[in-house]
Amino acid sequence: MSDPKPKQKRKRINVRRPDVMEKVQAEVQRHYESSIVEKIRSNDGSITVGNTTIKLAQQFGFCYGVERAIDLAYASRKVFEENNIYLIGEIIHNQEVNRQLQDMNIVSLPWKEMDETYDRLGEDDVVIVPAFGAPTSYIDKIESQGAAIIDTTCGDVMKVWRRVRGYAKQGYTSIIHGKAGHEETRATASRALGDAKDGHYIVILTLDDTDFLCSYLTGQTTAEALMERFGHATSDGFDPKKHLQKVGVANQTTMLKSETEEIQRRVHTAIKERDGSSDNFQFFDTICGATQERQDALFDMLKGHMDVLLVVGGYNSSNTSHLVEIGQEELPTFFIQNSDRLTSLEEILHFDLEEKCEVTTEHTNLLDLSKPVTVGITAGASCPNNLIESTIKRVFELRGVDSADI
pLDDT computed for residue 166 by the predictor: 97
Name the CATH topology of 30-63+290-405.
Cobalt-precorrin-4 Transmethylase; domain 1 (3.40.1010)
What residue segments make up the domains of the chain, in order of their start?
A: 30-63+290-405, 64-154, 156-283
The CATH code belonging to domain 64-154 is: 3.40.50.11270
**DSSP-derived 3-state class of residue 152:** coil
Do 146 and 124 meet the contact criterion of CB atoms below 8 Å apart?
A: no
Instruction: Report how far Cα 37 is from the mean position of its chain's Cα atoms.
Output: 23
355 is catalytic: no
pLDDT computed for residue 363 by the predictor: 81
Fold match, 30-63+290-405 / 64-154? no
Annotated catalytic residue, options 184, 228, 330, 362: 184
pLDDT of 54-96, one tens digit each?
A: 999 999 999 999 999 999 999 999 999 999 999 999 999 999 9
pLDDT computed for residue 357 by the predictor: 96
CATH class as words, domain 156-283: alpha beta
* Residue ranges of the chain whose pLDDT lies below 70: 1-12
- d(CA 321, CA 351) in angstroms, rounded, equals 10
Do 350 and 359 meet the contact criterion of CB atoms below 8 Å apart?
A: yes
pLDDT computed for residue 1 by the predictor: 41
pLDDT of 289-309, one tens digit each?
A: 888 899 999 999 999 999 999
pLDDT of 322-368, one tens digit each?
A: 999 999 999 999 999 999 999 888 889 999 999 999 999 988 778 78
pLDDT computed for residue 195 by the predictor: 94
State pTM to two decimals: 0.90
- d(CA 401, CA 403) in angstroms, rounded, equals 6
pLDDT computed for residue 2 by the predictor: 43
